[in-house]
Amino acid sequence: MAHKQAKYRSDYRAPAFTIDTVELDFDLHDNATRVTSVLGVRRLGPGALELDGEQLKLISVAVDDVELDADAYILNEHQLIISDLPDECTLTLVTEINPSANSALEGLYKSGGAFCTQCEAEGFRRITYYVDRPDVLAVFTTRITADARQFPYLLSNGNLQQQGECENGRHFAIWHDPHPKPAYLFALVAGDFDRLQDTYTTTEGRDVCLEVFVDKGNLSRAEYAMVSLKKAMQWDEERFGLAYDLDRYMIVAVDFFNMGAMENKGLNIFNSKYVLADQNTATDWDFIHVESVIGHEYFHNWTGNRITCRDWFQLSLKEGLTVFRDQEFSSDLGSRAVHRIDAIRVMRSHQFNEDASPMAHPIRPDKVVEMNNFYTVTVYNKGAEVIRMLHTILGEEGFQRGMQRYRQRHDGQAVTCEDFVAAMEAANDVDLSQFRRWYSQAGTPVVNITERYDASTGELTIRCQQQTPATPGQTDKAPVVIPLLFSVFDARGQRLAVEHEAIKRHESGSELLVLDQAECEFTLSGFAKRPIIAWLENFSAPVKLEREVALDDYALLLAHAEQEVTRWEAAQQMYLHVLLQAVEQGGALTLPQGLLNALRQALQAPLDNALKALIFTPPSAEELSEYYSSDVPLAAIEKAGKALRQQLALALQPDFAALFDQLQASDDDLSGPAMATRAMANRCLYFLAYAAPQQYADLIAKRATRRGNMTVQQGALEIAVHLELPNRDNILASFLEQWQATPLVMDKWFAAQASAVTATTVNEVQQLTDHSLFTLRNPNRVYALLATFCRNSLRFHQADGAGYRLVLDVIKQLNNLNPQVAARLITPFLQWRRYDAKRQEQLKSCLSELQQLDDLAPDLAEKIASALES
C-alpha cells in the first residue's frame, strides 16, 4: 500500500468547491450496490473540484447531465479531480461498492443480515466520491431500494418523505434531512428488526417519535435504552437549555461495530453492547454505560451536529465537550462521586499512559496520518478535563453563559476549538490566552507541592511548582493554567477557613487557587497546629501531584474529608505509598497498622457502598507502572499487589464477612443503592475468597451460575477465575453452557480469562482465539479477549515473550481484516522503551516485523513509525 501522507493542522484551507445539496440513490445488493449521487456544487475559490473516494468502482460522471469522457477528469486511488467546472453545477456520479466484502466496518457494510454505515471520520468516501471533509455542509435526500422481505426497514437521516413498492419484491423509501450536515453524519440502515417506539414532547412543543431498532427477539432488552434516551432529552433541556430539532429520533443496534456508537443526525447507529440490557445479561456498569453512551450520542446533536468541526484536528471541540456533558448527565442522575472517580481512573491508567507514549498528542493534534488513530483518551477524556477546568474557573453560570454565546455565534457552522474558547472568553469577559495552552501542549504536567509549617508564628508556607515533560516533537513547554481545588483541615478533621487574596471559595465547597506560573509561594496564617490539606480535590486538573506523603494525614482525610472523592483519593494515596515502597524492595510488603486501622474504620463507616467498593479497590498494576519511565519492575509490582490484597483479606476477614452478610439487594432492583450493594458485596466476596478459598468456593459457584442478575454472576465468575479457585474450570464450563447463545454475555466470559494474572493466562487466551464462539471479524469479541489481554500488563509482558507473539499474530490478521481494530491492539507495543533490555528487543522486533508487511495499513504504519522513531 502506498505510504499515506501526514496532514498538518496549520495547512488548513477552505475547499475550492462546496456542496449544498446531495441526492443519493442506493440500490442495495449484498455484493454490488449501486450508488447514484447528484451533487449541487458551488465554487468558493480558485482550483479544481477534488472529490475523495476509496475502494470505489466508478461507473460514470456527468456535469449538468452531460457525461464526461475519461480524459475530462483525473482518477487515482484516492481522488477524482475535475477541473474547468462552472461556478455552479450539478454533478452526477454513479459508483458501485461491495458491502459484503467490507470487513473494515467503515462505509457501507453488512452487520449480520442488515446493511449499515459508519462514516466518521472519513468513511463516506467509501460509499461515493465526495468532498469528504467536515466543513462541507449539505442538505441530504436519500432514496433506498432493497428486497422487501429481507429488509423491511429502510432508514436514513431526517424525515421519511415517501415509501412504496417496486418490481421484483423490492421496495423503496425516501428520506430528507433539512439540517445541512457534513458527510460524516450520513447514515443508512436496511434490515429486519424489532422496533420499540415511544414519544417525547420537547420544551418547544415538538412531538418527537422515538424508535429503537434491535435484532429480532431482543425487544425487552431495548427498554432501558429508550428510558435513557428520554432522560437525556429532558436533561439537556434542563441543564443546557438545548432541545431536539427533528420529528424523529432513531437508534439502531448492530452487532458489528468498531466503536461504541455514532451520532448520525436523527439516526444513531449503536454497538449493540450499548443498547441491549436487562438484569439477566447486563451488569450494573453495563446499564450505566448504556445510559451514558445513549446520552453522549444524543448530546452530540448540538455539540457536534448543529455546531460541527471545521477540520478533524478540532475533534476535541465536539468530543471533549460531549464527554464532559455525558459525565455531567451521569453525575446529575446517579452518584456524582462514583462517576468522578471512574473518570479519574480512566485518566490515570490510560490517558497518562498515552501522554507518556510515542503517540502523545495535544487534545488538538497538529499532525495526523490516519484520523481513526486520534479517537483517543487524550482527545476525548483529557479534552473533557479541559472543559471541566473551564467550568471550574468560570463556575456553572459563567460556563452556561459561554455555551449560549457559542450557540448564538456558531449554530449551523463548522468551527474550531479556538472559536469555542473565544465564546467562553467573550461571554465572561475574561482572558483565556494562557488557558489555550491546554489545547496545544501534550504531556501530563507535574505539580510539586511543599508545605512548611512554623509553629512559632502559626504560618503555613506553601510552594507550588509545575513542569510539563517533553513529548515527541514538543521539547519546550510553557506553564499552563491549573485550577487547584483544596480544603484545609485541623488535626481532628475539622474544616478550617482560609483567607488569602489569591484564594477564593469555589462553588464546590473547596478553596480555589489558580496556578498559572511555573512556581508560586504563598503563606496562610492562623494555625495553632500544623493543618492538613487535601490537594487537587475532585481531580481539578489533569496533572500528576508530587508531595511528601504522611500516611497519618491521609488516614485523617479518609475518615473526615467532606467530599467523597477526597476520601477515596486519600485511600488511594495510602495504598500507593505502601505499594511503591514495597516495589522498591522487590515486592515484599507488610501492611502498616495505620493503614489497616483506617481501612477497617472506612469499612465500618456509614459510607455509600459504591464508594466503599471503590475504596477497597487498590491501584492496579497498570497504574503503578505509570510511576516508572524505564525498567518497569513488573515482577515486584505483581508481588507487591498480591501481598497487599492478601494481607488486607486476612486482616479484615471478619469485617468483610460481617458486612457481606448485610448486603442484600434483589435481582431486579436497578436503583443506585441496590447497585452499590452489589458492588460492595462483590468486593467483600473477593477478599473473603482470597482469605479462605475453600470455604467460599461453593458460594461463588452458586453465584456464578445462578441466572437472575449479571452483576452477581460476573462478579463471582471473575473471582473464581482470577483467584484460581479449585472449582474454576467447572464454573467456566457451566457459565459457557448457560450463555453460549448470548454473545454479549460470552464477552464477559472471554474477558474474565484474559484479565487473569495466572501462570496459564497466556496459553488460555491463545486457545480461546480458536474457540468456536470467537471470531476476529467481530470487534466486540476482539476487544473482550485481546484488548483485555493487552491491558493485562503483567501477562502481556510475560518474560518469555509469549504474550507478545500471541498479539502480534492477531494484529497481522487484523491488518487485512480490520485495521482500526488492529491499531487499537498495538498500543502496549509502542511503549517498548519503558521495559528492560530483553523485553525491549522482543517488542521492537514485533514492531519491525509488522513494519515489513507489504500491505501494512496506515493505521498501524503511523503508530509503528512513531514508536520506532522516538
The residue with cell 443506585 is 672
Binding mask 275-304 for ligand B3K (x = CB under 6 A): ---------------------xx--x----
- Residue 267 interacts, among ligand B3K, Zn ion, none and using kind-specific CB cut-offs from 5 to 8 Å, with none
Q: Strands of 217-352 (E only): list them.
A: 248-254, 261-262, 267-271, 308-309
Q: Of the candidates 19, 262, 464, 561, which one interacts with ligand B3K according to CB under 6 A?
A: 262
259 lies in the binding site for ligand B3K (CB under 6 A): yes
- Nearer to ligand B3K among residue 383 and residue 619 (C-beta): 383
- Residue 632 interacts, among Zn ion, ligand B3K, none and using kind-specific CB cut-offs from 5 to 8 Å, with none
Q: Where in 103-142 is the site for ligand B3K (CB under 6 A)?
A: 120-121
Smallest separation, CB 326 to Zn ion (Å): 8
Q: Is the Cβ–Cβ distance between 337 and 272 less than 8 Å?
A: no
The one segment of 173-181, 316-324, 447-455, 480-488 that binds Zn ion by CB under 5 A: 316-324
Q: Is the Cβ–Cβ distance between 415 and 468 less than 8 Å?
A: no
236 lies in the binding site for ligand B3K (CB under 6 A): no
Among 297, 319, 385, 425, the active-site one is 297
- Nearer to ligand B3K among residue 300 and residue 834 (C-beta): 300
Cell numbers linked to 462 = 506553601
| 120 noted as active-site residue | no
- Nearer to ligand B3K among residue 304 and residue 618 (C-beta): 304
How many amino acids of this chain bind ligand B3K (CB under 6 A)?
A: 12
Pairing of strands 308-309, 367-368: unpaired
Cell numbers linked to 15 = 475547499
Cell numbers linked to 856 = 501494512
Q: Of the candidates 25, 147, 223, 375, which one interacts with ligand B3K according to CB under 6 A?
A: 375
The one segment of 240-248, 313-321, 533-541, 615-623 that binds Zn ion by CB under 5 A: 313-321
Q: Is the Cβ–Cβ distance between 290 and 275 less than 8 Å?
A: yes
Nearest 5 degrees, angle CA 288-CA 197-CA 285?
Answer: 10
The size of the chain, in residues, is 870
What amino acid occupies position 146? A
Q: Is the Cβ–Cβ distance between 832 and 840 less than 8 Å?
A: yes
Q: Give the residue closest to ligand B3K by C-beta.
A: 120
Smallest separation, CB 260 to Zn ion (Å): 8
d(CA 521, CA 449): 10
- Residue 120 interacts, among Zn ion, ligand B3K, none and using kind-specific CB cut-offs from 5 to 8 Å, with ligand B3K
Residue 309, Cα to own-chain centre: how many angstroms?
A: 19
* Omega within 30 of 0 (cis) for the link into 121: yes
Phi, psi at 51, each rounded to 5°: -100, 135
CA-closest candidate to residue 133, choices 309, 269, 5: 309
Going by the DSSP 8-state scheme, the letter that residue 189 receives in this structure is: E
Pairing of strands 159-165, 170-181: antiparallel
CA-closest candidate to residue 405, choices 388, 435, 425, 386: 425
Q: Where in 58-87 is the site for ligand B3K (CB under 6 A)?
A: none
- Nearer to ligand B3K among residue 177 and residue 511 (C-beta): 177
- Residue 259 interacts, among Zn ion, ligand B3K, none and using kind-specific CB cut-offs from 5 to 8 Å, with ligand B3K
Smallest separation, CB 752 to Zn ion (Å): 29
The one segment of 156-164, 225-233, 260-268, 734-742 that binds ligand B3K by CB under 6 A: 260-268
Q: Is the Cβ–Cβ distance between 573 and 539 less than 8 Å?
A: no
Smallest separation, CB 259 to ligand B3K (Å): 5
| Residue 809 host element (H or E) | helix 802-817
Cell numbers linked to 597 = 486501622
Smallest separation, CB 748 to Zn ion (Å): 25
- Would you list the DSSP string of 588-602? -----HHHHHHHHHH
Q: At what angle do helices 336-346 and 564-584 cross, to 10 degrees?
A: 30
Q: Where in 41-70 is the site for Zn ion (CB under 5 A)?
A: none
Bridge partner list, 201: 207
The residue with cell 432513531 is 250
- Residue 372 interacts, among ligand B3K, Zn ion, none and using kind-specific CB cut-offs from 5 to 8 Å, with ligand B3K
484 lies in the binding site for ligand B3K (CB under 6 A): no
- Residue 121 interacts, among Zn ion, ligand B3K, none and using kind-specific CB cut-offs from 5 to 8 Å, with ligand B3K
Q: Of the candidates 52, 319, 354, 355, which one interacts with ligand B3K according to CB under 6 A?
A: 319
d(CA 432, CA 424): 9
- Nearer to Zn ion among residue 92 and residue 308 (C-beta): 308
Smallest separation, CB 271 to ligand B3K (Å): 10
- Nearer to Zn ion among residue 136 and residue 321 (C-beta): 321
Catalytic residues: 297
Interface ranges with Zn ion (CB under 5 A): 319, 322
Interface ranges with ligand B3K (CB under 6 A): 120-121, 259, 261-263, 296-297, 300, 319, 372, 375
